[in-house]
């Protein structure tokens, strides 16, 4: 059957009515890639859900397509969000597709270059502020309360509805839930959405069990782990540089109900995993996404992820979003004369 996008495919599971406009960039339907080399090394079946292959290069498209379709159904012609980058790229693309206005507020200097390029080329009204994500979100909430403009951050319940469809795809691919699900946590919308998805599939007898969910925050930006607001969150993983998560309570509920937890990973370990994923599996994901692999390795080492089990790590965003992180973390390329002998020496001596 030809794939017609997430809303069509999962209409029965989504808050869709006859009045919901059909909107799609053919989001979802992303590959679940087995990490063949890492699985062999650790004796664990490790799979990656490569959400970086969505139309704007991140998982945000799943929720955004539903949020924008519902906004239009409800008569809105202008959406707004605060963003660490990926939400703004996605909002801008779907607004362009649907022919409505989009305004995005981003923390100045703290979003990856590719994401900024996307928001601009899709024609959003991009406002960079001297402040972090949390401060930008406060303003967006106030504006959406006062004026006729629809907020599409993950406070908007349609976002999580769309995002839960990734769980359906994982179960459909594996034949059941994995033993463990590992993913990054920023605003904790995604972890909440995945849990909803697995529970809904369990209720509909599409799977027989639920995964243990392990969420990971960056050490310099881990409000849920330390149970305090971070007023100055810092991490190389700018996507999850969030100090006061919207879905904080839900993240704790998911951890408790699934017998998992939310733990912190240092930037050093994130960068290690970022390189390892590309080098050993040929998969390029942005730093925030690679916290999933860093977390998997930590849980294997601690014996919490057992040998012989099945693990799914969520790679939330494409590595191409953030070329600076790659270039800054690998040795510099020096240019030399275009000379066969010199090049030969380098190639065979490396």
Q: How far is the C-alpha of 87 from the C-alpha of 79, rounded, in Å?
A: 12
Report the site for ligand AN7 in 176-215 (rule: CB under 6 A).
184-190
Q: Does 58 bind ligand AN7 (CB under 6 A)?
A: yes
The tokens describing 26, both together, are: 């053919």
Closest CA to 218 of 183, 180, 185: 185
Q: How far is the C-alpha of 228 from the C-alpha of 211, rounded, in Å?
A: 27
Q: Least distance in Å: CB of 37 to ligand AN7?
A: 23
The distance between the two most distant Cα atoms of the chain, rounded to a whole number of Å, is 69
Q: How far is the C-alpha of 297 from the C-alpha of 284, rounded, in Å?
A: 17
Q: Least distance in Å: CB of 288 to ligand AN7?
A: 4
Q: Least distance in Å: CB of 182 to ligand AN7?
A: 12
Q: Does 63 bind ligand AN7 (CB under 6 A)?
A: no
Q: Which is nearer to ligand AN7, 44 or 239 (CB)?
A: 239
Q: Does 236 bind ligand AN7 (CB under 6 A)?
A: no
Stretch that binds ligand AN7, among 40-48, 66-74, 84-92, 165-173 (CB under 6 A): 84-92
Q: Which is nearer to ligand AN7, 7 or 82 (CB)?
A: 82
Alpha helical stretches, state H, the chain? 6-9, 36-42, 60-73, 86-98, 113-121, 133-146, 157-163, 165-174, 189-203, 223-226, 248-257, 267-281, 287-301, 323-329, 340-349
Q: Does 319 bind ligand AN7 (CB under 6 A)?
A: no
Q: Which is nearer to ligand AN7, 244 or 316 (CB)?
A: 316
φ, ψ (nearest 5 deg) of residue 123: 85, 20
Q: Least distance in Å: CB of 349 to ligand AN7?
A: 38
Q: How far is the C-alpha of 101 from the C-alpha of 121, rounded, in Å?
A: 14
Q: How far is the C-alpha of 333 from the C-alpha of 331, rounded, in Å?
A: 7
For ligand AN7, the binding residue among 126, 144, 240, 273 (CB under 6 A) is 240
Q: How many of the chain's residues bind ligand AN7 (CB under 6 A)?
A: 21
For ligand AN7, the binding residue among 57, 85, 114, 197 (CB under 6 A) is 85
Query: Contact 23/72 with Cβ under 8 angstroms?
Result: yes
For ligand AN7, the binding residue among 45, 54, 86, 103 (CB under 6 A) is 86
Q: Does 140 bind ligand AN7 (CB under 6 A)?
A: no
The site for ligand AN7 (CB under 6 A) is made up of 58, 83-87, 154, 184-190, 239-240, 286, 288-289, 316-317
């Amino acid at each position: 059957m030809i794939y017609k996008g997430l809303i069509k495919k999962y209409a029965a599971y989504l808050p869709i009515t006859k009045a919901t406009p059909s909107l799609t960039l053919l989001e979802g339907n992303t590959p679940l890639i087995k990490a063949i080399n890492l699985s062999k090394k650790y004796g664990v079946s490790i799979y990656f859900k490569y959400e970086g292959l969505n139309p704007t290069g991140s998982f945000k498209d799943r929720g955004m397509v539903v949020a924008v379709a519902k906004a239009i159904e409800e008569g809105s012609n202008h959406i707004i969000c605060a963003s660490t980058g990926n939400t703004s790229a996605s909002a801008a693309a779907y607004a362009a597709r649907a022919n409505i206005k989009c305004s995005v507020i981003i923390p100045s200097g703290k979003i990856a270059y590719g994401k900024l390029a996307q928001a601009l080329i899709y024609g959003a009204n991009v406002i960079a502020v001297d402040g972090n994500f949390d401060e930008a979100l406060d303003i967006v909430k106030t504006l959406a309360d006062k004026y006729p403009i629809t907020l599409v951050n993950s406070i908007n319940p349609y976002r999580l509805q769309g995002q839960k469809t990734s769980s359906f795809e994982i179960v459909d691919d594996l034949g059941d839930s994995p033993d463990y699900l590992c993913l990054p946590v920023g605003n904790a919308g995604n972890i909440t959405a995945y849990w909803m998805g697995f529970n809904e599939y369990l209720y509909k007898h599409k799977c027989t069990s639920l995964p243990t969910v392990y969420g990971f925050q960056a050490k310099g930006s881990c409000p849920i782990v330390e149970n305090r607001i971070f007023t100055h969150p810092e991490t190389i993983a700018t996507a999850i540089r969030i100090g006061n998560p919207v879905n904080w309570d839900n993240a704790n509920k998911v951890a408790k109900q699934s017998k998992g937890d939310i733990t912190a990973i240092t930037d050093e370990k994130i960068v290690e995993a970022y390189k390892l994923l590309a080098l050993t599996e040929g998969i390029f994901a942005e730093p925030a996404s690679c916290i999933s692999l860093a977390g998997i390795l930590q849980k294997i080492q601690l014996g919490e992820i057992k040998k012989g089990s099945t693990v799914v790590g969520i790679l939330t965003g494409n590595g191409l979003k953030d070329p600076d992180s790659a270039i800054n973390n690998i040795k510099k390329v020096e240019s030399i004369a275009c000379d066969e002998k010199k090049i030969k020496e380098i190639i065979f001596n490396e």
